Structure 1
Amino acid sequence: MIQYEIDILALSEVRWTGMGEKRIDKEHTIIYSGIDATRDQGVALLLTNIPAQAITSWTPVSSRIITARFLGSHAKLSKVACYATTNEASTEDKQSFYNGLVGVFKDIPRHDVLCLLGDLNAKIGNGYTFCPEVLGKHGIGERNDNGELLIDFALLHDLVIGGSLFPHPDIHKYSWTSPDGRIRNQIDHCLINRKCPSSLQDVRAYTGADVGSDHNLMIATILLNLKKHTRKCPLPVKPLFASAKLKDNEMKTLFSVELSNKFETLVLPEDADCEKIWESMKSCYQEVAESTIEYRLKLNDE
């Protein structure tokens, strides 16, 4: 981070369980999320002092998704760091991951500069003519299933895939190399709102960075002045339900019964659109969760 002057570093496969905020040294703070994770997952954001002082809130969504919001001089910056399932994962696991992202994006204000980044295990290919709304002219390789899902998600949320926008040699586009060195792919990405593409100045891989991984360091340059956010207490974190309690069969049964009863009494107006239906269903889940499994008591409660 020091050598490449990185202010916000998104990390995948952190392998830490639980969640929390830690001051590593005088210059760096880490926020991490490994909720209900095995030690092959976990995500984090490692911050220098400037973004650490500008952060207004953060949410450990899951062992694959973490979000943070930063105060800017002219606009707020919402960062979503993630670690997607592999291309060989089941359809259910892939859908679960993207459903989680959809839920996250619903809570992000539309006027924020929004940046999604991380190991998305998605090969987008060179498909400018296929989907010019999302892709630039500088993607590489052949698209895989995860690439299709990422492009569909970007279309749905009005995002562009930054790595396809800038004309770099292929060596500066590949983000992953196989152990035998024969296969190289562009599977780590940075996406940003289509309404503010000028904020994204560059995206490229740095093969010289010694990161001890089969992934190359990917750096996205974003033009945005962050502003110090004064706080007198730890960073506010969106409260999370104690979902681990659902591993208990009795609690799982209770939750299912209460939820079923809640849906039976749910009445929707005839003219209800998708948004109203979604909000009603979301409210049912939240009310039942509050009355059964309740919230986690503290940040590092596992």
Structure 2
Amino acid sequence: MGDLNARTGSKDNDTIVGKYGEQITNTNGQRLVDLCHGLSLKIMNGFFPHKNIHKFTWTQPTRKLSSIIDYIIMKQRSRINNLDVRVYRGSECGSDHHLVVTRLEINYRRKISRGEDEGNNYTLVERKYNLDSFRDESTQFLYKLRLATKLQQVQKEQSARELYNEIKTCIHEAAEEALGRKRKLQRNSEWWTKQVEEVVREKKRAYHHWLSTKKDEDRKIYVELNRKAKRQVERSKNERWEKTCEEVEIKKALKESKNKKAAGPGDIPIELIKNAPEILLELIKELFNKCIHGDQVPEDWNLGYISSIYKKGDKKLCQNYRDITVISAMGRL
């Protein structure tokens, strides 16, 4: 994907260039087609029918020029299905190039093996809670109340693994009820206030209006609103930074543990333990004592998620990678 300044044209029954592209070609375009032919690639822009305003990726209104020079390129044989490629003019970023968006269908299922001796697999399902809501004291109180109520029913007279599984279940249930799941499209930036949202929305309306009219006076209105939006964003960021500096108070309990780190096996983020009531710490202490006195440690503590991180050099050589193992957050305590 990229701006290649190449115009590849259109062809019928071709494996590289589709029939829905533009009619003009240039030298860079022919070079790109030859490169794709040698690497068994295909240029996806021309394989989907759209209006011209949704095909041309670059426009020059003053000279009335338009062309397709930004491309989505994929392997000809791939497990990833490309469902569509089109241009969206409404997304503005101060460029004469328009946003090119592709829709992909990826059949992805991640499995982690427990080991050859056990001979079974399980699917890793990560639960992401809305941990940012812990900044609200009422949410902290609700989480502690729900968790304390559930933990009071936990029986200490059981094995370490059974005790751990009960504690884990209580934590997840309390987090689900008090925090809820984190939305995929949730805006986490704390500086994004209602004032910022309103001025950005007003700027976008002006931009869309200018796209439809192409009048100089409408463009001036958009430029002025764009400057206003940038000033508002900068002001909001500075205010949030000053407030954050004033709120720096570090709790002594679990001070060494860092937030927003991978939870590891068990899927319990360290924030859920830091904000828990005292009864959870008492049960964790009981759990640790059972393990120290010879009881079997919880199964999650024996697992680790291993990821290979590329360092430098030839990517085909194993020595150019380093491994990172993520263990259970509770087990790290």
- With the shorter chain as reference, the TM-score category is 0.3 to 0.5
TM-score, with length taken from structure 2? 0.33
TM-score, with length taken from structure 1? 0.37
Q: Which has the higher helix share?
A: 2
Say which structure, 1 or 2, has more relative contact order (CA 8 Å, 6+ apart): 1
Higher gyration radius (CA): 2
Q: Which has the higher strand share?
A: 1
